[in-house]
Amino acid sequence: MMSRQAFLCSLGSLYLSLLFVFLLMDVYARPANNSALKEKPADSKDENEILPPDHLNGVKMEMDGHLNKEFHQEVFLGKEMEEFEEDSEPRKNRKKLMVIFSKVDINNDKKISAKEMQRWIMQKTDEHFQEAVEENKMHFRAVDPDGDGHVSWDEYKIKFLASKGFNEKEIAEKIKNNEELKIDEETQEVLDNLKDRWYQADNPPPDLLLNEEEFLSFLHPEHSRGMLKFMVKEIIRDLDQDGDKKLTLSEFISLPVGTVENQQAQDIDDDWVKDRRKEFEEVIDANHDGIVTMEELEEYMDPMNEYNALNEAKQMIAVADENQNHHLELEEILKYSEYFTGSKLMDYARNVHEEF
């Protein structure tokens, strides 16, 4: 019979053998490392801390020129948007919506006018701006390692490449010694675009150093008039096919690059074209001449434009104004809750009077 000591030794040998096999499997399972500068990829949160976002809260168009599908919810709910989840209890969401209704209805006449909605939209938009300011403080600290209150392009470039999986120390050393960086073409293209944007955010006199306020303009150009112009130029450059620095309807509704492979994809593309056509004809093309200029697109993109906010308020009211009195009653907002909150509230009529 095997002794206890011999059994434990045998068990230990088996464990070490299995561990060796697993280690070999792990080594051969790993992808080849094609770059001496690469290390393990950074998580998306770290990357998002320093990369300007494509999605801008409270702005009608994304940085890539696509329409912001959540715009109405963002300017109606503000920070409360996350509270209206699809799996939330309808009764709780109804109560939240009733509270919001009472806040928008500042004269307490049980209906919301265009002016009241305009005031609310401006308030929610300012909320998004303040949130961007707070986030910017954190992001600025992340890219200002020496804490001198200024960030150079090289400092940002190092942090950006580190967020893409490159070795930060090696990148910093190569930049310091003016050595060539082996960067893939896609990453280099992103860097070139970011550098143009960096120059635009650098207020006169230009020194290629961004302070906290300038860095906010870099990350959130929608809140800087000068950067808003730059953002509009970028969008028109991407969509303008004939190079006249204006957009026709056909240019604005051109389908994204790619082929339609099935009927479901065709339906999605049809909806995409329908939405863009409506936005172009009814909102962006202010003088309805069939051409959108940079000035028109800039006015459309400006989140703090009070005239736009009033037009948006009127459009939002028109969507749910069933009795055509140019105001919104609580019942109408509850019925069209999906438009305002992204959450569909069932049996609204049966509950509205007993809860409000």
* pLDDT tens by residue, the chain, 356 residues: 445 454 444 544 544 444 433 333 343 333 333 333 444 343 444 444 578 888 888 999 888 888 998 999 999 998 888 887 765 677 888 889 999 999 999 999 999 999 999 999 999 999 999 999 999 999 998 888 788 999 999 999 999 999 888 999 999 999 999 998 889 999 999 999 999 999 999 988 888 899 999 999 999 988 888 899 998 998 999 899 999 999 999 999 885 544 445 545 555 567 888 899 999 999 999 999 999 999 999 999 999 899 999 999 999 999 999 999 999 999 999 999 989 988 776 554 445 444 44
Q: Token match 């990357």: residue?
A: 47
Distance CA 342, CA 165 (A): 36
Query: Tokens at residue 207, please?
Result: 């020194």
Distance CA 333, CA 94 (A): 10
User: Where do the structural domains in the chain lie, given as residue ranges?
Assistant: 70-150+211-259+266-354
CA distances from residue 319 to 105, 108, 138 in whole angstroms, order as listed: 18, 22, 39
Q: What are phi and psi of 43, to 5 degrees?
A: -75, 165
Residue 113 DSSP SS3: coil
pTM of the model: 0.74
Side-chain half-sphere exposure of 98, counting CA atoms within 13 A: 16
Instruction: Identify whether the C-beta of residue 306 lies closer than 8 Å to the C-beta of residue 122.
Output: yes
Distance CA 30, CA 200 (A): 42
Determine how β-strand 151-152 pairs with β-strand 291-292.
unpaired
